[in-house]
Amino acid sequence: MAIAHSKDYIFVRDSKVADPQTLVPAYRIFMSHQGSESWEEIRLPGELKAFKMYGDDSGLYVSSYGNGQLWHYEPSSKEWTNLIKMQLTEKQEYYVFAIAKFNGGLLVSIAGYNDTANSNDNTGLILHRQPDGEWKNIAPPDSVACFVYDHRVSLHFTDAREWHGKLLIASVECGLWAYDNVSWQKLPVSPPWPGRDNINDNPYAIELHKDRLYVGQYSYGGVQEIQEDYSRVQVDSNTATNGNYHVRTPIYVKTLISTGEHLIVAGRDPGLPVVYMGDKGEPKGWRDLGYSSWCPPGSFRCIALATYGLDIVGDTLYAAAWEGVFKFPLSDLEKSIKDEKSYYDYYPD
């Protein structure tokens, strides 16, 4: 369900459920090393229900499901440190939806309910860790909110990047926002889905690639490029010139990652990671990083249903997928996509 790394340590969170009747997750995390074929399960603190993961050179950061906690794991010593521990009442429920970095400090997005019986009684915190270790809430006031099916939702994000000294966040419910250390600015949203004028497809994943910002959208909108003036340019339109809806970019985007040379996206459709060719001349479009790149010889399909996360460790691309964890040498990337068709060939006007 998720993958992250710290130096040459690799971490994955799986999707096993502890109770098949209630579908309560087991909250398991496993650790390995680059080049190793073995994994060990990490013993989690009793209060930690592993939700989101983020890695840097200091170790792994893990947020907790439902109780608004954030923990740090140091892989060499195998020690856990609690960084955020909210004091919640029985009626409160908070989630750390994302972990990122801004101005050299850790950034977390926390949102949840002050009263679980009232869906409109919610709040959002965007906490930025200061050099002295204190947490500063940089979220806009609760008056800045959005509405999903008439329900009020506080601003929170699923992914974030620092770009030209500003913070850019992607929120499925609230769209794309920029923060300049003083105030927040809401950026233009994407066009409605074809035939669904009342629904805007908001962003989920965000990545920097060759000094451009790319946003992957949660459902049908695909992948869009953000200009420095914050105007949006859709990389490849999912609406054909005849007005019909065609899939020309990946949809149901879960993650974007840049190798420095290539932009790679993954999600549910297609389940395979795909590589953007629009900044590399003709032919444009996206190319599947096909089955033969991931599967053993003779295997028809080993990775396809959904890819939830991508990570790059050294010279290797790792994918956290429904079927397991897969790895691919980046040195073979150009060769693997050379003869793959683009979405233009599959879905002509």
Which CATH number covers residue 112?
2.130.10
Q: Flag whether 144 is in a domain.
A: yes
> Is the per-residue pLDDT at 219 higher than 80?
no
Mean pLDDT of all residues in 182-199: 67
The tokens 């947020």 sit on which residue?
63
Identify whether residues 142 and 256 lie together within a single domain.
yes
Mean pLDDT of all residues in 297-314: 82
The pLDDT of residue 281 is 62
Considering 85, 114, 145, which residue would you say is the last residue of a domain?
85
Identify whether residues 54 and 107 lie together within a single domain.
no
Q: Flag whether 95 is in a domain.
A: no
The tokens 């956290």 sit on which residue?
320
Identify whether residues 6 and 129 lie together within a single domain.
no
Pairing relation of β-strands 196-200 and 307-313?
unpaired
Identify whether residues 60 and 150 lie together within a single domain.
no
Identify whether residues 23 and 112 lie together within a single domain.
no
The pLDDT of residue 188 is 76
The count of other CB atoms within 10 Å of the CB of residue 45 is 14
245 band by pLDDT with thresholds 50, 70 and 90:
low
Report the percentage of the chain scoring pLDDT > 70: 85
Q: Flag whether 97 is in a domain.
A: no
Chain CA centroid to CA 65, Å: 17
Question: Going along 34-191, which residue ranges are E strands?
Answer: 40-41, 50-56, 59-64, 70-74, 79-84, 93-102, 105-113, 122-129, 135-137, 145-148, 151-154, 159-163, 166-171, 175-179, 184-186
Identify whether residues 159 and 275 lie together within a single domain.
yes
The per-residue DSSP string of 105-132 comes to EEEEEEEEESSTT-TT-EEEEEEEE-TT
Domain count, the chain: 2
Considering 51, 85, 119, which residue would you say is the last residue of a domain?
85
Identify whether residues 269 and 199 lie together within a single domain.
yes
Q: Which amino acid is at 319?
A: A
93 φ/ψ angles, rounded to the nearest 5 degrees: -150, 120
Q: Flag whether 111 is in a domain.
A: yes
Q: Which amino acid is at 283?
A: P
- Three-state SS for 180? coil
Specify the pTM. 0.90
> Is the per-residue pLDDT at 345 higher than 60?
no
pLDDT in tens, 146-190: 776 677 778 889 999 999 999 999 988 888 899 999 999 988 766
Identify whether residues 71 and 136 lie together within a single domain.
no
Identify whether residues 65 and 148 lie together within a single domain.
no
Which contacts of 227-235 are long-range, i.e. CB under 8 A and separated by 24 or more positions?
A: 228/164, 230/178, 230/185, 230/187, 230/188, 231/188, 232/187, 232/188, 232/190, 234/190, 235/276, 235/278
Identify whether residues 81 and 108 lie together within a single domain.
no
Mean pLDDT of all residues in 90-96: 87
The tokens 């915190």 sit on which residue?
125
Q: How far apart are CA 320 and CA 14, in angstroms?
A: 9
CATH code for the domain in which residue 69 is found: 2.40.10.500
Q: Flag whether 13 is in a domain.
A: yes
Q: How far apart are CA 184 and CA 180, in angstroms?
A: 7
Q: Which residue has the higher pLDDT, 200 or 221?
A: 221
Q: Flag whether 96 is in a domain.
A: no
The pLDDT of residue 346 is 47
Residue 168: name the closest of 128, 213, 133 by CA.
Answer: 213
Q: Which residues contact 62 (CB under 8 A, 6 or more apart)?
A: 29, 44, 48, 50, 51, 52, 53, 70, 71, 72, 73
Mean pLDDT of all residues in 24-47: 92
Q: Flag whether 91 is in a domain.
A: no
33 φ/ψ angles, rounded to the nearest 5 degrees: -115, 155
The count of other CB atoms within 10 Å of the CB of residue 68 is 22
The tokens 């099916």 sit on which residue?
149
Give yes or no for a contact between 265 and 286, defined as CB atoms under 8 angstroms apart.
Answer: yes
Identify whether residues 41 and 121 lie together within a single domain.
no
Range of the domain at 151: 103-346
Q: Flag whether 90 is in a domain.
A: no
Q: How far apart are CA 320 and CA 303, in angstroms?
A: 10
Residue 138: name the closest of 172, 178, 173 by CA.
Answer: 178
Identify whether residues 32 and 150 lie together within a single domain.
no
> Is the per-residue pLDDT at 286 higher than 90?
no
